[in-house]
Amino acid sequence: NPTDQGVIHSESPSNIALVKYWGKFPDQIPANPSISFTLDTCATSTTVEYNALPAKTGKASFEFFFEGKPKPDFEPKLQTFFDRTAKYLPFLKNYHLKISSSNSFPHSSGIASSASAMAALASSLVELERRHNPEMDRQFANLKSSFLARLGSGSACRSISGSLVVWGEHADIPGSSDLYGVPFPDTIAKIFQDYQDTILLVHRGQKQVSSTVGHKLMEGHPFAKQRFEQAHSNLRRIKEVMISGDLDAFVDLVEREALTLHAMMMTSSPYFILMKPNTLSIIEKVWEFRRNTGLPLCFTLDAGANVHLLYPGQNKEKVLQFIKNELVAYCENGQYICDQLGEGTKIS
Ligand code: PMV
């Protein structure tokens, strides 16, 4: 019987927000809508081996391995995830799960792995539910995976589908929801279809501010209201840009969003500067490159010092040459990762 025991494999990519999610309400409800590119190469691969329990324990039990070794420090986060999702996955209490995960990107590279990890786990559990209920259609399964991934880590809900995903209710995006991510409803301009994201690893290691602490900084933040309104208007604008392919407007919006995210952290209580001197040097170099070449290379940032460089596939050769010649010097151990738009979670 396929529901007694079996194996599910899920591979989920990371994602990079263009309009950022920063600030949330209880139950992982975002304070503003966000939109992200789904990545391709940076991914978490998760295998769930499930075994039906002989007697009902009333609670799912699990063990967790990361890159082949037990990882007890991840267990509290997983336990929280299982507690939050238990009521949506009632059948799970009859199982023992052996969860094994690995990441395609280097250890403590400063790349957030919670989005890809939570998306991979959530989609494996929904796949187990589909084995009980084969009629559940793929689209519903994706929405449910996204819904559950959100309960693990907010931005994880944008890693189920590709290649452009909206999370958070927005008047101009039909079907958008605070509860899960939805694929961008319109066809995106051709120029965006092979967009590249080269991630420059400026600072590896633990993030200075966890995203849980970070989102909290928006509570009582003096600019919170304006920021949430701005995110709504930026999403409206970026929707038009994604359809029209206006790259000047894209560059302006994306960099503005990245700097605003960091400005929010610089003006909160307590305040933080998450950029490093090398982050700023890279930004200056990117602006100089754009002035000199006219190519639409732009940067974005997460809540950390690493820099994501976004550009069309047709400019890849020139941009990679520029990175090798001028930017590698600012990367820790010269490390960077070449990624591009991807199609989201794959299950087998
Ligand atoms: O998903 P969380 O709670 O780790 O928050 C992520 C927030 C940012 O990465 C800074 C922005 C975003 O929208 O992904």
CATH number at residue 230: 3.30.70.890
* pLDDT value of residue 107: 67
* Cβ contacts of 170 within 8 Å, gap of 6 or more: 33, 176, 232, 235, 236
In a domain, 347, yes or no: no
In a domain, 119, yes or no: yes
Per-residue pLDDT band for 292 (boundaries 50, 70, 90) equals very high
Q: 341 C-alpha to center of ligand 1: Å? A: 18
* pLDDT value of residue 249: 98
Verify whether ligand 1 is closer than 6 Å to residue 344 (CB atom). no
In a domain, 348, yes or no: no
Verify whether ligand 1 is closer than 6 Å to residue 302 (CB atom). yes
Judgement on whether residues 137 and 24 belong to the same structural domain of the protein: yes
* pLDDT value of residue 204: 78
- Out of 137, 163, 188, a domain closes at 188
In a domain, 222, yes or no: yes
* pLDDT value of residue 153: 95
Judgement on whether residues 90 and 223 belong to the same structural domain of the protein: no
Q: Please provide the average confidence, as pLDDT, over all residues in the chain.
A: 95
Verify whether ligand 1 is closer than 6 Å to residue 85 (CB atom). no
Q: Is the pLDDT of residue 55 over 80?
A: no
Judgement on whether residues 229 and 169 belong to the same structural domain of the protein: no
Number of the ligand 1 atom closest to the C-alpha atom of 19: 13
Judgement on whether residues 206 and 61 belong to the same structural domain of the protein: no
In a domain, 345, yes or no: no
**What is the total count of domains within the chain?**
2
Judgement on whether residues 207 and 183 belong to the same structural domain of the protein: no
* Cβ contacts of 212 within 8 Å, gap of 6 or more: none
Helix (H) or strand (E) holding 122: helix 114-132
ipTM field: 0.99
Region of 159 (left: φ > 0; alpha: ψ -120 to 50; beta: rest) is alpha
Q: 302 C-alpha to center of ligand 1: Å? A: 7
Question: Residue for token digits 């591009």?
Answer: 340
Q: 308 C-alpha to center of ligand 1: Å? A: 14
Ligand 1, pocket-test mutation among 302, 306, 307, 308, most atoms within 8 A of CB: 302
- pTM for this prediction: 0.97
Per-residue pLDDT band for 256 (boundaries 50, 70, 90) equals very high
Task: Find the domain containing 112 and state its range.
Answer: 5-188
Number of the ligand 1 atom closest to the C-alpha atom of 16: 14
- Out of 188, 210, 233, a domain closes at 188
Judgement on whether residues 162 and 252 belong to the same structural domain of the protein: no
Angstrom distances, CA of residue 19 to CA of 27, 85, 137, 158, 202: 21, 27, 30, 12, 22
3-state secondary structure of 123: helix
Six-digit token string for 128: 């187990």
Instruction: State the pairing for strand pair 95-103/61-66.
Output: parallel
* Residue 60 vs residue 19, higher pLDDT: 19
Judgement on whether residues 62 and 156 belong to the same structural domain of the protein: yes
In a domain, 346, yes or no: no
* pLDDT value of residue 111: 76
Instruction: State the pairing for strand pair 95-103/196-200.
Output: unpaired
In a domain, 118, yes or no: yes
Q: Each residue of 304-340: pLDDT tens digit?
A: 999 999 999 999 999 999 999 999 999 999 999 999 9
> Prior bond to 54 cis, omega within 30?
no
Judgement on whether residues 158 and 271 belong to the same structural domain of the protein: no
Domain with residue 25: its CATH number is 3.30.230.10
Verify whether ligand 1 is closer than 6 Å to residue 21 (CB atom). yes
In a domain, 168, yes or no: yes
Q: Each residue of 172-221: pLDDT tens digit?
A: 999 999 999 999 999 999 999 999 999 999 997 667 888 899 999 999 99
Ligand 1, pocket-test mutation among 14, 18, 21, 159, most atoms within 8 A of CB: 21
Beta bridge partners of 182: 166
* Residue 169 vs residue 72, higher pLDDT: 169
Q: Whose CA is nearest to atom 9 of ligand 1?
A: 302
Verify whether ligand 1 is closer than 6 Å to residue 170 (CB atom). no
Verify whether ligand 1 is closer than 6 Å to residue 34 (CB atom). yes
Verify whether ligand 1 is closer than 6 Å to residue 196 (CB atom). no
Judgement on whether residues 142 and 164 belong to the same structural domain of the protein: yes
Judgement on whether residues 43 and 150 belong to the same structural domain of the protein: yes
- Out of 141, 169, 188, a domain closes at 188
Number of the ligand 1 atom closest to the C-alpha atom of 34: 13
Verify whether ligand 1 is closer than 6 Å to residue 304 (CB atom). no
Q: Is the pLDDT of residue 33 over 90?
A: yes
Q: Is the pLDDT of residue 37 over 80?
A: yes
* Residue 200 vs residue 58, higher pLDDT: 200
* pLDDT value of residue 214: 94
- Give the C-alpha separation, 265 to 288, whole Å: 26
Judgement on whether residues 178 and 211 belong to the same structural domain of the protein: no
End-to-end CA distance of the chain: 18
Judgement on whether residues 195 and 329 belong to the same structural domain of the protein: yes
Q: 187 C-alpha to center of ligand 1: Å? A: 25
Q: Each residue of 114-159: pLDDT tens digit?
A: 999 999 999 999 999 999 999 999 999 999 999 999 999 999 999 9
Verify whether ligand 1 is closer than 6 Å to residue 154 (CB atom). yes
Six-digit token string for 66: 């990361």
